[in-house]
Amino acid sequence: MSDTHVTDMLIVGAGPAGYTAAIYAARAGLTPLIVTGMQPGGQLTITDEIENFPGFANPVQGPWLMEQMRLQAEHVGTRFQFDIITEASLKNGPQEDGYFHLAGDSGDQFRARTVVIATGAQAKWLNIPSEKRLQGGGVSACATCDGFFYRGKEVAVIGGGNTAVEEALYLTHHASKVHLIHRRDSLRAERILQKRLSAHPKITVHWNREVQEILGEGTPEVVVGLDLRDPRDHAVKERLAVDGVFVAIGHSPSIGPFRHEVECDDGGYIITQPGTAQTSVPGVFAAGDIQDKIYRQAVTAAGTGCMAALEAERYIEEQKHAG
């Protein structure tokens, strides 16, 4: 039997942005409710060690950090619902009862005075078995997050767009050599980035190559190399010894039922007003990677979660005075 959940603030998504929004909202007495989605904790639940989140002198495990955020949100009064939002009626503003109406996959109904969309974005992967097996063992989708662990080592970056080239250039600050693997004979990246790439002595580009297999050894298993093939004839052409593999073929925003409810860009990322978390619909806010396709860091996601909560609190107060 379905239930109806009523809250001042409904937070959709349980990553750094969603948890932070909940912590601030709960402390403001807004009784926030988080709908966790399929992956509570977001992408950090598949991140091995984190060294760049402030407050920790030593590396911390991604799942542990997300568990601590969840416990903190719960401690200050956040409620949790393990469900997936499948329907949302937002674009015309609150209904006659003063609430936004949403529905979950479970059949439960949600009524919220404000909504924070913090559903994040998912890295696109190569979808080969060894890739998933070696995540946390040398396979990553974030050079900024994990590049530090490859000081003095050889790494490979997979992709040919701006993200791949930027990741390759960033990794030269840590790695001894960077191999850029691209399945075509030309890059899609901006010209200025291509010039920087071709001029860098640490970077070698492997044209017309795709990853057939990521090679691992040891217990626990870690990356030791790649088998590369030519996509034109699928023949294995070379084996490349590397210590880390960074997949940089893009991200997909987890926009779900919100795609036509708030203004989004062509890629499906939610557009927020500059310097705010406010979407095109008053009372609906977006935080974290669902609206950030540039930084994609846990700390910036947390920051926008804070912004969303503070702005939602202000919105509710304004609505009270307007009424």
Considering 48, 108, 142, 230, which one is annotated as catalytic? Answer: 142
Distances (CA, A) of 175 to 84, 142, 146, 170: 40, 14, 11, 9
Strand extents, DSSP E, the chain: 4-12, 33-35, 49-50, 60-61, 79-81, 85-89, 100-104, 109-117, 121-123, 139-140, 154-158, 177-181, 203-206, 210-217, 222-229, 236-241, 244-247, 251-253, 284-286
Answer yes or no: 142 catalytic: yes
Considering 8, 145, 243, 306, which one is annotated as catalytic? Answer: 145
Answer yes or no: 145 catalytic: yes
Considering 146, 243, 289, 292, which one is annotated as catalytic? Answer: 146
Answer yes or no: 146 catalytic: yes
Supply the Cα-derived Rg of the chain in whole angstroms.
22
Q: What are the two backbone dihedrals, phi and then psi, of residue 155, each rounded to the nearest 5 degrees?
A: -135, 165
What tokens does 203 get? 């970077």
Query: Residue 69, exposed/middle/buried by CB under 10 A (0-12, 13-18, 19+)?
Result: buried
- From 148, 136, 143, 141, select the one nearest 121 (Cα to Cα): 141
What tokens does 77 get? 């009064």
- From 53, 238, 245, 269, select the one nearest 167 (Cα to Cα): 245
What tokens does 159 get? 């992709």
8 A C-beta contact, residue 84 and residue 105: yes
Q: What angle (nearest 5°) sits at the alpha carbon of residue 126, between those of residues 118 and 204? A: 110
Active centre residues (catalytic) = 142, 145-146
